[in-house]
Structure 1
Amino acid sequence: MLRPSSPRLRLVRGIGAAAAAVALASGLTACGGDAEATGPASSGKVTVGAVSNGAAKEAELAAPVVESLRAQLPAEVRDRGELVIGVGALPAGFPPLAYVGTDQRTLTGAEPDLGRLVAATLGLEPVLKNSTWENLFLGIDSGKVDVAFTNVTITEERKKKYEFASYRQDNLAFEVLKDNPWNFGGDYRNLAGRTVSVSPGTNQEKILLEWQKKLRAEGKDITVKYFPDANSVALALSGKKIDVNFGPNPSIAYHVTQTASSSTPTRNAGSVSGAGESLQGLIAATAKKDSGLAKPVAEAINHLIKEGQYGRLLAAWNLSNEAVTTSEVDPPGLPLTNS
């Protein structure tokens, strides 16, 4: 997610809008206001994928406290015994990343689940605060939120106010019918002759139109289609009115799980960095600059990567193709010219 002035924010708003239609249909709407949910006690185990409405395969993961990592926490947080985790999923949430589950109470999704795992590893009680995207950053700024796990993209602009611990690639993906053999293959030229849907005003549209311009210079073309909502895109894909849907990888991962048992299942046919070809965009846990939280959070994520819980979490949410090999503190972010 990026700032409101950026088309990259509209990309993630696209996730919210697309997922909201599905969420509302499934009864997964969130409550209004700053909803607060406290996770389970730090018992050394975290259940991921709970009440997910089929978006994830529920699994219980071991997450014992690592005292050497706990010792790295700022004294104030360690003594409090809680990690206040901010999630900007109001009003409707965005499966599979963050939304209210089928019990109409539990904040579920890959983001809060990772936050719970990190808190458990650091020996802290996870306290999840769900808010709007704008209020999420106000919470960090005011100290009411320790760290955000909510699909925040690292940018050089944001580094002026925040510190980061990366945990997932920021990718766009190509969705096709399962019986369609086409794959992106990392080369925009493979899109030549295809009919592709994309949401207007988004980063993926910008990238797609740049590819179209290059193809036209080579005497080839892409047919670009626009639809008013996610349901219309799904109907166009199942009805073969389009060949490919190009959108945020998480929303496509979610739709793949939802179509798996239908008569027209879909699949992910490849991905590309949301930052474009020159830089791999990264999603990161976000804390106030100089809070001292990014390093222990990164070390906790690296522990979870090494021990395998991280991989199992992403697999449960069908997001394995966004895995990072290492969590880094303040790695290169989108430059000012692209953020």
Structure 2
Amino acid sequence: MLRTTSSTKKRKILALAVLPAVVLPVLAGCSDPGASAAQPESGAAKNGVVYNTSVEQNRIRGEKDAAAASAVPEAIAKDGKLTVATTAGSIPLSFHATDDKTPIGVEVDIAQLVADKLGLELDLQVTSWENWPLKTQSGDFEAVFSNVGINAARVKLFDFSTYRAAYMGFEAKKSSTYDIKGSDDISGLKISVGSGTNQEKILLAWNKELEAKGKAPATLQYYSSDADTILALSSGRTDLNLAPYPSVTYRENTRDDLKVVGKVNAGWPAETLVAATTLKGNGLAPAITDALNSTIKDGSYGKVLERWGLSEEAIPESKTVTEATFGTGK
């Protein structure tokens, strides 16, 4: 999962907010978690992963890393908690367990590891995609783990600690013959996408390319939930859906009617990564980066990604990205 007076300012921040899958293209993130997703049946999926969607997660846990813990700003460490926001709307990223209220998923597991490494209790808060930017700026949330992709608009408001590759996937009915590699391949098609997301930003840019060539652009369609989106796709009302790659591959591996027909970096035409998101300049990002690198080093990070079938999205090192370092490769 990528809108002034006091109202103006609020709308401006909201616009920046809508991303990793939904509202301002410039801030668009990587996913629009947002709607409830179907739960898998018991047993191993086609990729061999047994997805645990129960309340009893038996999470992989980490040991406190003294160096990382000492880097947490006192204002954040004093209550002994790390308050983390997630959107709980997209399997296997962040979603509700079988009780329909307990947030679980790879984002939650990584947040738990980071809290463990920092010697803090994880205080997990479920919020909407539209609300996390404002609430992070207000101090309600200390970090966001919800498939947020780094982009030029977001680094003006937040600092980041990278932890996963960021890709979007095109999915279609299994009977289709689509092979999506670029703008030419979507000409004239109906595609569902989250409003204000990175994926919407990509499709709008591809449509401009098509129009410049005199070709028919794709028709973008918007739905309020994952359930409505997938129903439209499976029933033939749309030709394609563009969503976070982990979610489309999950559906490919747990359903018989859908398949992945294309993959694009969430930062197209450049590249980006998924990252923990913190308030710009508050000093927390470097501590989270240290914690993530500690999990990479001790192997717990790899085990979490493997648990959710996302090993191919692993990165070798976490880095802190700020407005000053964005785009520099540092």
Candidates 31, 50, 53, aligned match of 1:51: 53
Instruction: Give the unaligned 5+ runs of structure 2.
Output: 3-12, 24-30, 42-49
Output the TM-score relative to the length of structure 1: 0.68
Matches for 1:18-33 after TM superposition, within 5 Å: 19-20=35-36, 22=38
Structure 1 residues 103, 233: CA separation in 2 closer, same or farther (over 3 Å shift)?
closer
8 Å CA contact 1:66, 1:121 repeated in 2: yes
Q: Distance in 2 between matches of 1:7 and 1:127?
A: 22
| Of 77-86 and 325-334, the range deviating more from structure 2 | 325-334
Closer/same/farther in 2, CA of residues 156 and 51 from structure 1, 3 Å limit: same
Displacement of 1:327 after TM fit? Answer: 1.6
- Written as runs of structure 1 = structure 2, the 5 A alignment for 1:7-86 is 9=19, 11-12=21-22, 15-17=32-34, 19-20=35-36, 22=38, 51=53, 60-86=59-85
Q: 1:226 to 1:166 in 2, by over 3 A?
A: same
Unaligned runs of 5+ in 1: 27-47
Look up the match of 1:159: 155
Match of 2:96 among 81, 94, 100: 100
2:265 corresponds to:
273
| 1:42 match | none
Rounded Cα–Cα distance in structure 2 between residues aligned with 1:232 and 1:132? 17
Q: Deviations over 1:99-127 (max 9, x none)?
A: 33212442212222211011112222111
Pick aligned residue for 1:197 from 191, 194, 207: 191
Percent identity over paired residues:
31
CA displacement at 1:297 relative to structure 2: 0.4
- Once residues 83 and 329 of structure 1 are traced to their aligned partners in structure 2, the CA distance between those partners, rounded to angstroms, is 18
Residue 302 of structure 1 corresponds to 293
Distance in structure 2 (CA, Å) of the matches to 1:180 and 1:245: 13
| Residue identity opposite 1:64 in structure 2 | E
Pair 1:171–1:146, CA change in 2 (3 A): same
Partner Cα distance (1:188, 1:180) in 2: 18
| 2:316 pairs with one of 312, 316, 325 | 325
User: Does the residue aligned with 2:92 lie in a helix, a strand or coil?
Assistant: coil
SS at match of 2:155: helix
Equivalent residue pairs, number: 299
Q: 1:151 Cα shift? A: 2.9
Shift of 1:132: 3.5
Matched, 1:174 2:190: no
| Preserved contact between residue 165 and residue 327 of structure 1 (Cα < 8 Å) | yes
Instruction: Report if the CA contact (8 A) 1:156-1:334 is conserved.
Output: no
Q: Please, which of 108, 118, 136 is the counterpart of residue 132 of structure 2?
A: 136
Q: Given that residues 86 and 149 in structure 1 are in contact (C-alpha distance below 8 angstroms), is that contact kept between their aligned partners in structure 2?
A: yes
State the secondary structure of the residue aligned to 1:97.
Answer: coil
Deviates more, 1:104-113 or 1:195-204: 195-204
Structure 2 counterpart SS, 1:253: helix
Shift of residue 60 of structure 1? Answer: 4.3
Pair 296,252 (structure 1): closer, same or farther in 2 beyond 3 Å: same
Q: 2:120 aligns with which of 99, 118, 124?
A: 124
List per-residue Cα deviations over 1:123-145 (Å, max 9, x = no partner): 22111122344553444334343
Distance 1:227 1:78 in 2: 41
Structure 2 distance, partners of 1:132, 1:289, is: 21
Paired amino acid for 1:84: T
Given candidates 262, 267, 273, the residue that maps to 1:282 is: 273
Moved more, 172-181 or 122-131: 172-181
| Residue 296 of structure 1: how far off its partner (Å) | 1.3
User: Is 2:206 aligned against 1:207?
Assistant: no
Shift of 1:250: 3.9
Contact 2:187–2:210 (CA<8 Å) still a contact in 1?
Answer: no
